[in-house]
Amino acid sequence: MSVDAIKVGMIIVMEPDLEKSVKFFKDLGFPLKFHLEEKWAEFAIGDVKMGLCPTSSEVIEHHTGVILEVPDVRKTFEEFKAHGVEFVKEPFEAVHGIMCSFKDPGGNIFDLYQPTPEKVQEMIKKMQEQEAAGKPIDLQDFEPSSSDTDSEA
Is 8-115 a CATH 1.10.287.3510 domain?
no
Structure confidence by residue, pLDDT tens digits, 67-96: 888 889 999 999 999 999 999 999 999 877
User: pTM, whole model, 2 decimals?
Assistant: 0.65
Structure confidence by residue, pLDDT tens digits, 137-148: 666 666 665 444
Q: Where are the domains of the chain?
A: 8-115, 118-147
Tell me the C-alpha distance between 144 and 113, whole Å.
16
Tell me how far apart the terminal alpha carbons of the chain are, to the nearest angstrom. 44
